Amino acid sequence: MVTPAERAALEELFKSVRGASTARNWSRGVEMARAGHVFGAEQDEDSVSLKVTDPKLRIAPVATLYVEDAEWDCTCGGDDPCAHVAAATIALKRAREEGQALPEPPRSLGELVYRLKTLPEGAEPGEQVLLIRVKRVGDQETLVDGSIASLLKSDSGAQTLDIEQADLQLDRALSGRPNGTLPPDFFQGLLRSLAEVKHLELNGKPCRASADSIAPRARVEATKAGFRVTIERHPDVLAVVLPGVALVRDGDGAVLKSLRGTELTGKRLQNLPSTREYPKAKSAELITTILPALRDKMDVDVLTDELPQAARHLRPRAEVQITQEGGSISAFAVLVYGDPPVARIDNDELVILGGAVPVRDTGEEKQVADRLREDLGLIPGRRQHFHAEAATEFATRLDRYRARSGRVTGDAPERFLRKASLSPQLSISGSDFSLEFSGTADDGKTVSADAGAVLKAWQQGLDLVPLTDGGFAPLPADFLSQHGHRVLMLLSAKEQKAELAAYAKPQLLQLCRDLDYPAPPELAALAPLVDGFEGLPEAKLPRTLNATLRHYQEAGVAWLGFLRQAGLGGVLADDMGLGKTLQALASLPEVTPKHRRRALVVCPTSVLMNWRREANKFRPDLNVCVYHGAKRELDPSADVVLTSYALLRLDRDALAAESWNTLILDEAQTIKNPDSQVAQAAFSIPAEFRLSLSGTPVENRLDELWSQLHFTNPGLLGGRSDFDTRFAKPIAEGQAGAAQRLRSRIAPFLLRRLKRDVAPELPPRTDVTLYVDLTDSERATYDAVRAATEKELASQLGAGGSVLAALEALLRLRQACCHPALLPGHIGSPADTPPSSKVSLLVDHLERAAAESHKSLVFSQWTSLLDLVEPALRGAGLDFVRLDGSTANRDAVVQSFQAESGPPVMLISLKAGGTGLNLTAADHVFLLDPWWNPAVEDQAADRAHRIGQERPVIVHRMVAEDSVEERILALQEQKRAIADAALGEADKALSLTREDLLGLLG
């Protein structure tokens, strides 16, 4: 899906190329694009490369488009822009408009495949190689029997073969033998060109070639008589496939390379390993002649500290020489021995400077070089230059390096580190703002630093920032520790648009207050959003509203109206049962002849009719259309269109084509996975005002909250990876202030009230745990399942399986707690199956509740468990109704239960009855099988404990004693911590670990 920004950038590029092209080049580009001569080569974040099969050229030129910068390039070397750039731009624009990332290659375009097969000659295998070239078009292959030039000429002027320069080089080299056997020496000369081809096979397997060669290795060891030098094959050599050519390990694959040093090793390495002894009397020759000669050909590992004998106390160290010009730094590092130096390492050779001869320690040299690279980013023996931001980082590193007694010569850091205390300078004009940091240096001059540079240096953990007029200064650490994250968000929001994004303005107002800067009227008007919604204008309720709102509901409508006026979206996350639907309906503007504002409401299918009833009841002035069913149609006269999430996904294009003033997602946790099709569909529907309704905006992970806020205010929390880096991971790790930063960021756009805070008239809710004592038979079954589950769980986690997969492994164990008949292998119908201990205890409590004129809801996530409860209820003479995914007329079942004369028990599947039901006739709730996620259980319990309930509600959790169910209760507390970190006062969001899962087994 092309974003508006990408579309605008592509349009700008199109206009630039069109305007700069000659009429002839543009016309030819149009012809080639229409003829399908353009296809995608590759793309990255900065550029898109496309090939243009120009009939006039042997090799398809590659046109590279830099869309964001409206720049281009082409390998043809012709006009600027050439016809190929024009064709590429036209084809890319057309492909993106048709929903393709890149234009597809023509089906008729072929590619060259090079197949190699080693052949025996006499008694020695692999003495020759057979090269076969084929032209492949789709699944069809044709032998290339001749030169590529002749093959191209036979194409009647149309370019039907995708070739590179390397193909032509090989073609010239193979002149006279396009297919056939090649001697090893000749084949080695082809490796450089073969390294550039796209498709290469060796003996039927994909392979690559390399122009690089591989050498053997040598090691030097001490012996009693002196020293031993051993030359052996390189450990990465997998096989010698031809004399002088080896197949070499390369990551997970293999690559063909030529062998170096074959005069010592033999062309098949048959002379290895080779060993030679050097007596101590020949040590000097070994040190000065033999080893240097070997190092020219291969790597040499000295495995003894006995070579040489002199100046053993001298250790390698690094010397760094720096010079500075303006804001740039030049640095040169060298490894030396001695202080002052008596030798230095130059191109891996020991250069004697006079005096003692040190014993070289290549291992410690590597450690010194590694520390130098780690501390300063320098490589010994190579002069390096650092400019702009890189100079800032290097200056910071150098300051720290010197503090650890590193040797630095040349210009001292004090010469280019200017001492200044930088302070923020904020400036606001209309909807835009600017921020820079300035101060007075120790030389009395005023210095300044760009805010972006300051923030970038702070993010990178640097101590210094480059000044706009050259040099560096310390970061304003105090300011950044207090306000850095807010300023980062503001700068990011400003980069996304020409002016500051609307969602960032509350943060800018808060910054104005922190810096004691007078906020302009436009920002000052947003004060209620940063003051905890204090001072919101009175709610403008529709005159046609057929309801009396509670005080907190009026406040919610006022908040929604304020957001709408400010061009912002919101998440209404009131506790379940507090009337989010009514507040949403009351916030819809009145429809007048001059102002018709259409609203689209997306909700679960199960509550579509409930939305229609409440809309007709509370807003009779609105024309409501239910967009559902096989014959669904969008009523153009409807003020409110109600549809389901399934149809939002299926009819995404049709809904996106309409003009919506308001888009409301009810039970918006449905889009908690931002990668899902339904979430992507919700993001794509254009609307002036977006509202998300959810009593559980966070269930399992913090990125569920990201998804809802991305829907209501795109960009507020940055991209997903940015959100993970800035918030999710720091909160999970318990970093101080991370959770508070997230709450501060989202507070203006999320309104959450709990029942205990705003509805004191609501009767109390009591949660009790009913412990079930398993029979001996049930306990034996449970223990057997537990042993199998422990083995499966350990296997899942040991193999790197996901947490969710491991949770599934516990399914049978949880079912064994409820009823043995749920386990695989059970024979018999539910009616013939005796009740389990849990079902018996449930029926016992239901009988007592019914005898005292109470009604009860019984929830289970398994309909098969409800099947087993039904005969037990009939046996006890308890009347009941049932609601699950197969229930055809949900309303009739609900009304039957709600009636005063209705049955005392309702059986409900957790999935079908967790949302959108008002079952206030019940005051007892039984949860048969505890679930990992407490939010799901709370949703079920709140079917009864909601506005309209007049009696105290008791929620019974039925838990098998000494089982996995007891440990699930503790796990639920960890799940609550995730939501508390974003919506409450917690500082850490606990995650479910593998140790937690194993702990569930007891």
Q: What is the mean pLDDT of the chain?
A: 83
What is the predicted pLDDT for the residue at 411?
53
Residue 2 has a pLDDT of 74
Amino acid at 327: G
Q: Are 960 and 971 in contact (CB under 8 A)?
A: no
Whole-Å CA distances, 137 to 105, 107, 206: 11, 7, 18
* 686-723 pLDDT, tens digit each: 999 999 998 877 776 777 888 999 999 998 888 888 88
Q: What mean pLDDT do residues 405-430 have?
A: 67
- What is the pLDDT averaged over residues 385-400? 76
pLDDT for 231 equals 93
| Mean pLDDT lowest among 349-353, 670-674, 814-818 | 349-353
pLDDT-based confidence at residue 185 (cuts at 50, 70, 90): confident
What per-residue confidence (pLDDT) applies to 324? 65
Contact 822, 862 (CB under 8 A): yes
- Which pLDDT score, from 0 to 100, does residue 915 have? 67
pLDDT in tens, 30-78: 999 998 889 988 888 889 999 998 877 878 899 999 998 889 999 888 8
3: pLDDT confidence band, cut at 50, 70 and 90? confident
**What's the pLDDT score for residue 986?**
46
CA distance 759 to 875: 40
Per-residue confidence (pLDDT) for residue 988, from 0 to 100:
47
Supply the DSSP string of 188-242, one letter for each residue.
HHHHHHHTT-S-EEETTEE-EEEEEEE--EEEEEE-SSEEEEEEE--TTEEEEEE
Task: Name the residue among 419, 456, 422, 421 with its Cα closest to residue 437.
Answer: 422
Handedness of CA 945, 949, 952, 958 (dihedral sign): negative
For residues 50 and 414, which has the higher predicted lDDT (pLDDT)?
A: 50
pLDDT tens digit string along 531-551? 888 888 888 899 999 998 988
Neighbouring C-alpha atoms within 13 Å toward the C-beta of 923: 14
Residue 637 CB partners (closer than 8 Å, separation 6+)? 623
- pLDDT on residue 122: 45
pLDDT tens digit string along 434-492? 888 888 877 778 888 888 888 888 888 877 777 777 667 788 888 888 888 888 888 88
Amino acid at 166: A
CA count, 13 A, side-chain hemisphere, 892:
3
Cα gap 695→763, rounded to integer Å: 19
Amino acid at 262: T
Task: Give the DSSP letter of residue 82.
Answer: -
The confidence score (pLDDT) of residue 583 equals 94
Q: Residues 605, 642: contact at Cβ < 8 Å?
A: no
Mean pLDDT of 350-377: 79
Does the pLDDT of residue 121 top 60, yes or no?
no
Answer whether 0.75 is exceeded by the pTM. Answer: no
Q: Give residue 51's region: left, alpha or beta (phi > 0; psi -120 to 50).
A: beta
With beta carbons less than 8 A apart as the criterion, state whether 797 and 994 touch.
Answer: yes
Greatest mean pLDDT range, 78-87, 116-125, 309-318, 817-826 = 78-87
Q: Both tokens of residue 333?
A: 């590092």
C-alpha–C-alpha distance, residues 939 and 931, integer Å:
12
- Whole-angstrom CA distances from 405 to 383, 400, 413, 421, 592 are 22, 9, 14, 27, 78
| Percentage with pLDDT > 90 across the chain | 28
Buried-exposed string 119-129: b where 16+ CB fall within 10 A, e elsewhere = eeeeeeebbbb
Q: Average the pLDDT over 413-419 and give the result.
A: 54
The region of weakest confidence among 170-174, 236-240, 411-415 is: 411-415
CA–CA distance, 299 with 234 (Å, rounded to integer): 10
Q: Of 546, 518, 957, whose CA–CA distance to 771 is shortest?
A: 957
The predicted structure's pLDDT at residue 178: 63
Q: Distance (Å, rounded) from C-alpha 498 to C-alpha 739?
A: 30
Who wins on pLDDT, 439 or 286? Answer: 439
The continuous run of DSSP H or E covering 323 comes out as strand 316-325
> For residue 69, how many other CB atoms are within 10 A of its CB?
13
Higher-confidence residue: 395 or 784? 784
Q: What are phi and psi of 890, to 5 degrees?
A: -60, -45
Q: Are 223 and 277 in contact (CB under 8 A)?
A: yes
CA distance 33 to 473: 54
Is 999's pLDDT higher than 70?
no
Query: What pLDDT shows up at residue 980?
Result: 59
Region 601-618: mean pLDDT is 88
How far, in Å, CA of 646 to CA of 652, rounded? 10
Query: Could you tell me which of 128, 54, 43 has the C-alpha nearest to residue 87?
Result: 54
How large is the average pLDDT for residues 7-22? Answer: 92
- Judged against a pLDDT cut of 70, whether residue 418 lies above it is answered with no
Is residue 182 within 8 Å of residue 118, measured between CB atoms?
A: no
- Tokens matching residue 596: 């018709």
Q: Are 937 and 817 in contact (CB under 8 A)?
A: no
893: pLDDT strictly greater than 50: yes
Quick one: 297 exposed, middle or buried, by C-beta within 10 A (0-12, 13-18, 19+)?
Answer: middle
